[in-house]
Amino acid sequence: MAERTRVLFLCTGNSCRSQMAEGWARTLKADCIDAYSAGIEAHGLNPLAVRVMAEAGVDIRGQKSQTVDDLAEQTFDVVVTVCGHAHEACPVFPGAPQVVHVGFDDPPKLAKHAATEAEALQPYRRVRDEIRAFIETLPAGLTAPDTSRETRV
């Protein structure tokens, strides 16, 4: 059996986008990817991210928000930054893994002024689906240049 690619999905707070990416990778690509997620900071697991992932059949409740320091003993083949801040502040990792930026919009930021919970869930679902589409391209998609999907809000 071929060795799986060790991928770290990195975001600012490891609460939403990186957690969704880890969940999708564990669900869709367990045969070829060992998935991890971390943040520059730990903000806790976002309950709306957990909810929209569950709607799609992926349970991320058991994942925990952690920082890159929590994974200091791990080595990675690839670090995927999923937000602009993590890309700009990406630390240096042992073994010099490839760093790929694939930015996604920040659902909590987009949902901040939502009038209802149903309205707030819309950007979470959109970003969840965009992350899934990216994960489906892996591991070949890891060699792509910056493919940011972030919009400025």
Instruction: Give the catalytic positions in this structure.
Output: 11, 83, 90
Rounded Cα distance, 71 and 77, in Å: 14
Which are the contacts of 21, defined by CB distance < 8 A and separation ≥ 6? 9, 35, 37, 80, 82, 131, 134, 135
In 3D, which of 70, 68, 72, 58 has the Cα closest to residue 29? 58
Q: Are 43 and 14 in contact (CB under 8 A)?
A: yes
Any bridge partners for residue 35, and if so which? Answer: 7
**CA atoms of 100 and 107, how far apart (whole Å):** 21
Round to whole Å and give the CA distance between 128 and 49: 8
What's the first-to-final CA gap in the chain, in angstroms? 45
